Structure 1
Amino acid sequence: MALPQLIPSHSSSSLTHQPPINPHAANPYPIFKPFLKSSSLSQSRRYHRLSSLRCSASSFPENHHADPPKSDDVVELPIFPLPLVLFPGAILPLQIFEFRYRIMMHTLLHTDLRFGVIYSDSVTGTADVGCVGEIVKHERLVDDRFFLVCKGQERFRITNVVRTKPYLVAEVNWLEDRPSGSEDLDGLANEVENYMKDVIRLSNRLNGKQEKETLDLRRNLFPTPFSFFVGSTFEGAPREQQALLELEDTATRLKREKETLRNTLNYLSAASAVKDVFPSSS
């Protein structure tokens, strides 16, 4: 799958301006990334350096409280703040080297293998909504670092921080999408898939790549998991991804993703027209 660039919708806080179209300039917009399909630790190691991230627990005060819980099903969960967003069904390779998170891994490997991944950055702080990461493969090195491959599971909302040392532990409620009423979710999902295909096709053309057979991007996924898959491909726009993760309505999420893809397609179409008029000297 090609790696075209994405222009988030105007509602996204991650986009502040739209530069002039230059088909030969480096595109400033976030990367549209396909699902990582790692079948082994060795296959995913090329991602480890990018995912070896130091995290801070200081973003949460000890008495932090979020919005009132939506369910009585409250559980405690170790929390790993990261400058990225994990979606249900997505694969996340990580290298764990900071001491407190090595302590967390030792505990998890003897208990539940599940921890909460939550988005955090220096501008917006630490989010309240995140996604459970379940360890599906791990490798412990002689220096006590860990290589992990995790898979996104349920979404959650933090309701109370139990402790911050040696790592965050919080009480959470599980989140599920509400029924979308009379919305045609299958129709919306098909529209989003078609926009994705058009964006990939046009991006390949702009980058001089050979056009390939149209991919089955949806892969028989129901609309809700497909909407999470689409959100996971919006790499480079973590605040937009966080907004998508927090939505509790599949139709609204698909509509927002469709708008982002439509904006991107319009941009790529204009860039393609400019390139046709002013081809590069090479």
Structure 2
Amino acid sequence: MALLQLIPSHSSSSLTHQPLINPKAANPSLLNPKLKPFSKSSSRSQSRRFHRLNSLQCSASSFPEKHHSNPPKPDDVAELPLFPLPLVLFPGAILPLQIFEFRYRIMMHTLLHTDLRFGVIYSDAVSGTADVGCVGEIVKHERLVDDRFFLICKGQERFRVTNIVRTKPYLVAEVNWLEDRPSGDEDLEGLANEVESYMKDVIRLSNRLNGKPEKEAQDLRRNLFPTPFSFFVGSTFEGAPREQQALLELEDTAARLKREKETLRNTLNYLSAASAVKDVFPSS
């Protein structure tokens, strides 16, 4: 899903510009040489080799209400290898990665003989490394002859780093698991429906401004409960990782949906104005 432009209006947000919300426009490998997502620039042989890996797509159906039959409890403490990246992984989202740096190849060798799970945690040169991240579980992998790895990972539980166990050859930390608190008397279903409605309008206007058919967006929730739906919505804001990180760290589904609603409403207002200008000045 490609939304045109995110217009956050939260004073607490660390964003200082108006980034594109377009997975294809965001290229994390430019910020961090440890990461090379799958891209059209990959060789044809690699594209053929990993065609079956790329068959997994990030969609609403990737966001189940429960990810495990026995999910960890918030009070549980665990050790988790960490992979700092200039992106934010949400529960249920699909993340393709190419691993080629030596220390992370070591990590992959270990993971492939254990539980296939590691922590993806947002990091950039400005804000540093976050304390809250999301577990990435390897669901498909391919090891090449030069010892690089291609992975398809799926977001699972959120966690908060409580203690760094070691830093070499890669980061390992003690973490606590995060779950959303009860939202009290909030109408979560109503909020989720409002957010979905704004998303549909944003997609429609985005298509219009980009010269695409203004086809009505289909059911975006796909019977998702409000909490996984809020994670799905956050995952579509891919051009704004710091805003995504703020959404990931919230421990209240209602608060997350309200923030997403406000962001989408501001974006819709921007798109409506741009559409009106285009109607008056088509050549512009």
1:67-111 CA-partner distances (Å, limit 9, x unpaired): 999943100000000000000000000000000000000000000
Distance 1:274 1:33 in 2: 38
Distance 2:90 2:219 in 1: 20
Shift of 1:19: 12
SS of the equivalent of 1:152 reads strand
Shift of 1:276: 1.0
Structure 1 pair 69–113 and aligned structure 2 pair: CA distance change class (3 A): closer
Shift of 1:112: 0.6
Q: Which of 50, 54, 67 pairs up with 1:51?
A: 54
Shift of 1:20: 16
SS of the equivalent of 2:53 reads helix
User: Retained in 2: the 8 A contact 1:62–1:161?
Assistant: no
- TM-score under structure 2 normalisation? 0.80
Structure 1 pair 23–152 and aligned structure 2 pair: CA distance change class (3 A): closer
Shift of 1:40: 16
Shift of 1:35: 15
Shift of 1:154: 0.1
Distance 1:262 1:48 in 2: 37
1:198-255 CA-partner distances (Å, limit 9, x unpaired): 0000111111101224311111100000000000000110000000000000000000
Structure 1 pair 123–156 and aligned structure 2 pair: CA distance change class (3 A): same
Q: Which of 120, 125, 131 pairs up with 1:122?
A: 125
Q: Where do residues 225-264 of structure 1 align in structure 2 (5 Å cutoff)?
A: 225-264=228-267
Structure 1 pair 58–161 and aligned structure 2 pair: CA distance change class (3 A): farther
SS of the equivalent of 1:50 reads coil
Structure 1 pair 74–57 and aligned structure 2 pair: CA distance change class (3 A): farther
Shift of 1:11: 3.1
Distance 1:134 1:26 in 2: 22
Shift of 1:16: 2.6
Structure 1 pair 168–66 and aligned structure 2 pair: CA distance change class (3 A): farther
| Unpaired segments ≥5 residues, structure 1 | none
1:141-167 CA-partner distances (Å, limit 9, x unpaired): 000000000000000000000000000
User: Retained in 1: the 8 A contact 2:89–2:120?
Assistant: yes
Which range moved further: 65-74 or 191-200? 65-74
- TM-score under structure 1 normalisation? 0.81
1:65 aligns with 2:46: no
Over the aligned positions, Cα root-mean-square deviation in angstroms equals 8.8
User: Retained in 2: the 8 A contact 1:52–1:96?
Assistant: no
Distance 1:271 1:60 in 2: 33
Shift of 1:127: 0.3
SS of the equivalent of 1:49 reads coil
Runs of 4+ with deviation above 4 angstroms: 17-28, 30-71
Identity of aligned residues (%): 90
Shift of 1:10: 2.7
Shift of 1:4: 2.0
Which range moved further: 31-40 or 215-224? 31-40
1:112 aligns with 2:115: yes
